[in-house]
Structure 1
């Protein structure tokens, strides 16, 4: 993963940074949102950007991203399902690693909300996919945000993917 603040990080380093960030701001925070979102752009291949962001409500946040290049996906539906599957995969792994890390340092992570940001909105061609994608994310146990509230996918990942 790459962070604009911390540079290149392996998974263990990222988990430590996220946990320490939350722990050090815990008493003064209005809450934390840990979100995962993915966006992509087509070139000769498809550039997928997965973002893991920690929002310290009212006080900014930090984020990390990963870039994957895969065979070009031209079908919008397939691409959005692939993006969402990546977000779910990264979220599952992230939560498992954070839970293990928090047990080691005896820190309660129960007050942190987890959410998947999907790059679909009520306006435009993606609107017809909202019910399927949101239902899928919720069936996997996550809250789900769409545009204009899906900043990890529709703002951060979008900017990096271009």
Structure 2
């Protein structure tokens, strides 16, 4: 299988730049191995911002141990034009999220599940969520796309989350879209 150039776009966070997905995955494994009896949420979400000459897309990956910290990173994709049509932008955001979710193959997901499995009877959990930067409010311009986007996430076997519960897209990734 030949990988598209977009797979080569590196991840980064405050501590580390130019991380491959393998490095990111290893950070997630290390984070979970600190306390295998934890409740873990692996969350992926994308947000975008239209600038003067281009549109910036930031995809965030966050592993959260409920009540006990997080580790996260982002990946930046720049489209060299203003993407002003909302449906196109939301759909592309979700495509970028789906691309990252697809990197968590069954083998990789099983590796993460195997970390918590010995402590499952003590309450350990692992879930994977796709955070979509859309909402259902009557005044929300994205509400007409909710069913389509949720169905896309569900088809990948990932639990979809929308606003206000889609904080990886609407808060974490959003913070980095403002930067040129």
TM-score (norm 1): 0.88
| Secondary structure of the structure 1 residue equivalent to 2:165 | coil
Q: Does 1:94 align with 2:104?
A: yes
Q: Is the 8 A contact 1:40 1:48 kept in 2?
A: yes
What is the distance in 2 between the residues matched to 1:116 and 1:109?
20
Unpaired runs of 5+ in structure 2?
Answer: 1-10, 118-124
What is the distance in 1 between the residues matched to 2:164 and 2:109?
30
Of residues 147-156 and 56-65 in structure 1, the stretch that sits farther from structure 2 once superposed is 56-65
Q: Is the 8 A contact 1:19 1:98 kept in 2?
A: no
Q: Does 1:41 align with 2:49?
A: yes
Unpaired runs of 5+ in structure 1?
Answer: none
Q: Is the 8 A contact 2:36 2:116 kept in 1?
A: no
Bigger radius of gyration: 2
Q: Does 1:122 align with 2:130?
A: no
| Secondary structure of the structure 2 residue equivalent to 1:147 | coil
Q: Which residue in 2 is equivalent to 1:54?
A: 63
CA-to-partner distance for each residue in 1:33-52, whole Å, 9 max, x for gaps? 00100000001111000000
**Aligned-residue RMSD, C-alpha:** 2.1
| Secondary structure of the structure 1 residue equivalent to 2:174 | helix
Q: How many residues align?
A: 157
